[in-house]
Amino acid sequence: MNEQTKQLAREAEQHRQLSLRENTQVPALLPERPGLEFIVSGETLEADYLRALKANEPTGNQVQIVDGRNTRWKLFNSEIHPDLETATRTIKRWYNTDMLAGGGLMILGNCGSGKTHLARAIAELYGVGAVFTSEESFVKDVQGTYSNRAGKTEHQIMNRLCKAKLLVYDDLGAYQTDNTPWMQNLYFQLFDGRQDLGKATIITSNLSLAPQHDGREVWIQIEERLGARCFSRVMGQVGPANVVDLFNVPDYRMRGF
């Protein structure tokens, strides 16, 4: 471990202790430092580290955990497309400003554009208190309560997601259903509940805010998916400056084919 890494670890721990003393509820990004694009103050350690510590299990090297918080972000190559560079700038600004005020972020794009990677990277940076769920998982968890398979009530599931400090809701619109009113009711409970509590939310989707013609179909609008009432609430929390459009980014999984 070189001296620079030791110094970064010491500074991260100092900020963590300071934030704990001040009872800071939401971490904030510090200025960029050599070798670390992001260090999060407040709850600096990974959830896995804290769980291992509580269970008296091996925790590994704390410096590696602190240094590894931005691993997913570092793996993301924004230079391959100008829209990705714009996206990273938007995310950095949102993370340091609007997120702290409970604002929303929407990342839209086709399959393979990097939506989920970016969303997971933000949750990884935030650390303890961030919850990631896909729409498929969310709906199946709720449905499981109807037959008591989940061992939880719908209220418990919704309460956990509503109270999470940061929620990443991945792939909005992915769940296929003919019961639109039921789905829209779930959306409203979740997103309206989080907004009432002042909690920041990230939504990813391959649906667009306006119809897109690809020669085969017209993409369903997010407004039609959420319903007018919920759509108004969600977009009011997000705001036009915090919509990341990646629809022009090619599918990275198809490179080389």
Look up the CATH number of the domain holding residue 237. Answer: 3.40.50.300
Considering the domain architecture, whether residues 55 and 128 belong to the same structural domain is answered as: no
The verdict on 13 and 92 lying in the same domain is no
Output the pLDDT for position 38: 35
Residues 41 and 129 occupy one common structural domain: no
Q: Can you tell me whether residue 113 is helix, strand or coil?
A: coil
| Stated length of the chain | 257
Read off the DSSP letter of residue 132: E
CB 96 within 8 A of CB 242: no
Q: How far is CA 81 from the centre of its chain?
A: 21
Rounded mean pLDDT for each run of 10 residues along the chain, 257 residues in total: 55 48 40 33 42 53 40 77 92 91 95 91 85 93 82 89 94 94 97 96 92 60 93 94 93 69
Helices (H) and strands (E) in the chain, counts: 11, 5
Instruction: Give the range of the structural domain holding residue 249, as residue numbers without chain letter.
Output: 78-254
Q: Which of 53, 71, 89 is the last residue of a domain?
A: 71
Boundary of a domain, candidates 20, 46, 71: 71
Note whether 145 and 190 are same-domain residues: yes
Number of Cβ atoms within 10 Å of the Cβ of 16: 20
| In a shared domain, residues 242 and 138 | yes
Task: Verify that 139 and 59 share a domain, yes or no.
Answer: no
Question: Helix, strand, or coil here: 130?
Answer: strand
The pLDDT, as a whole number, for residue 218 is 56
Q: Are residues 99 and 66 in the same domain?
A: no
For residues 85 and 58, membership in a common domain is answered with no
Domain count, the chain: 2
Q: Which are the contacts of 233, defined by CB distance < 8 A and separation ≥ 6?
A: 188, 191, 192, 195
Does 123 lie in the same domain as 91? yes
Same domain, 161 and 54: no
Q: State how far the Cα of 243 lies from the Cα of 228, in Å rounded to an integer.
A: 18
Query: Of 23, 53, 71, at which residue does a domain stop?
Result: 71
Residue 2: the pLDDT is 55
Locate 79 and state its tokens.
Answer: 């230079």
- Residue 197 is predicted with a pLDDT of 96
Same domain, yes or no, for 62 and 82? no
Clarify whether residues 36 and 93 are in a common domain. no
Please identify which residue in the block is written with the tokens 């956990």. 160
Q: What is the distance of C-alpha 254 from the center of its chain?
A: 25
C-alpha–C-alpha distance, residues 73 and 35, integer Å? 13
